[in-house]
A and B are shown apart, each in its own frame.
Chain A
């Protein structure tokens, strides 16, 4: 560094701007792309080809706040036989033998300071696809739209649901 002149204020500002831009770009690229999962689960196969209802695996969406992901052993309701020997099913078998969970990566994100519950939405018959898109056409799922307050409030108005602050911010 001794041979170089100290960086100017402008240089520092530019360096800071470059870091901000790079971080923003990385976040955008990572968040908008389909995310690889520990097991290459295909919604196109399960929900598309075999027409499994969303609630078959995510039944808790009709019962409580979190849609939930089935326990590994519940995959075995079909996979004791279906797809036997396929590489992704072998991965599943290994996890069951070792008693390990599948560390699925979270795809759909909500803003902070909002509490979302699936149950009242399912009860009102709001299609899962409104927020989650046509997952039956997705090999790897991704977030189809940013779920910001405007989206929530607009839908609440359209469906004459309460838009009281405390409905979501509690």
Chain B
């Protein structure tokens, strides 16, 4: 092999740079690398656009409009769902609304707007569906988080918001 390369080199002045080039290619590798895992680029289309009239078999993310108030939380208040809701609340709501939901999160200051107290009267008066819509599509200074939180996760967060309201103001009739 070496003799062959040396013979080649005697003939042409480009052999050394050529061999060096091939060696560099051999070391660094070329072509597709399997270590590049299939992850989506931002704005990359995950699937071809669906034909009109396609019906979702599961999930789906209808952005409720006027009908939001009537939407019911598909998750019952069980210990398991509450635990998941609390964990999701800590991830997605705490930055602005604070760990207690009082509107005193770390990001509330830099945002420069008044962040709603989730345990206050205003949010307590909303229906589950309206809270779901606010998380999804935003309201006022809050932008919608539908790109960051999956629909079922949003419903679990609604459970947690209700739990926090109940913790602050016990339902009437109880001491």
Alpha-carbon distance A112/B29, docked complex (angstroms): 13
Report how far A63 CA is from B132 CA in the complex, Å.
Answer: 20
Contact of B6 among A6, A63, A100, A112 (CB under 8 A): A6
Closest B residue by C-beta to A26: B28
Give the residue of A50, A63, A112 whose beta carbon is less than 8 angstroms from that of B107.
Answer: A50
User: Is A32 located at the chain interface by the 8 A CB criterion?
Assistant: no
- At the interface, yes or no: B56 with Cβ under 8 Å from chain A? no
Contacts of B145 in A (CB 8 A): 77
A163 CB → nearest B CB, Å: 21
Docked pose: A84 CA to B108 CA in angstroms: 15
Asked if A111 lies at the interface with its beta carbon under 8 angstroms from chain B, I say yes
* A50 to B, closest residue via Cβ: B106
**Does B127 reach chain A (CB closer than 8 Å)?**
no
Contacts A20-B27, A69-B42; A81 near B111 (Cβ below 8 A):
yes
For residue A52, which residues in chain B have a CB less than 8 angstroms away from its CB? 95, 107
Q: Are B111 and A82 in contact (CB under 8 A)?
A: yes
Task: Determine whether the beta carbon of B23 is less than 8 Å from that of A20.
Answer: yes
Q: 6 closest A-B pairs (Cβ-Cβ)?
A: A101-B42, A66-B39, A112-B34, A53-B91, A23-B27, A74-B147
Question: Are B106 and A80 in contact (CB-based, < 8 A)?
Answer: no
Q: Assess the A101–B41 pair: CB atoms within 8 A.
A: yes
Q: Are A73 and B37 in contact (CB under 8 A)?
A: no
- Contact status of A50 and B95, CB under 8 A, knowing A12-B9, A71-B147: yes
Write the chain A residue with the least CB distance to B21: A19
Of the A-B pairs whose beta carbons lie under 8 Å apart in the complex, a sample of 7, sorted by A's number, is A6-B6, A12-B2, A50-B95, A53-B90, A65-B39, A78-B111, A115-B37
- Chain A contact-residue range equals 35 or more
B153-167 interface with A by 8 A CB criterion: none
Q: Mark B88-105, 1 if CB is under 8 A from A, else 0.
A: 001110110000000000
Given contacts A15-B19, A66-B37, A101-B43, contact A80 B27 (CB under 8 A): no
Is there an interface contact between A63 and B42, defined as CB atoms closer than 8 Å? no
B79 contacts A by Cβ under 8 Å: no
Cross-chain contact of A81 among B9, B44, B113 (Cβ < 8 A): B113
Which residue of chain B has the shortest Cβ distance to A58 in the bound complex?
Answer: B148
Further contacts, 11 of them, CB under 8 A, given A23-B28, A77-B148: A7-B16, A12-B19, A19-B20, A20-B27, A23-B27, A57-B148, A70-B42, A70-B148, A82-B107, A106-B36, A112-B35
Check if A166 is an interface residue, CB within 8 A of chain B.
no
Q: Please determine whether A59 and B111 come into contact, CB atoms closer than 8 angstroms.
A: no
| Cβ distance A38 to chain B, nearest Cβ, rounded Å | 11
Among B33, B110, B147, which residue has its beta carbon within 8 angstroms of that of A73?
B147
Flag A16-45 by CB within 8 Å of B: 1 or 0 each.
Answer: 100110011001000000000000000000
Contact A7 B44 (CB under 8 A): no
In the complex, residue of chain B having the shortest beta-carbon distance to the beta carbon of A6: B10
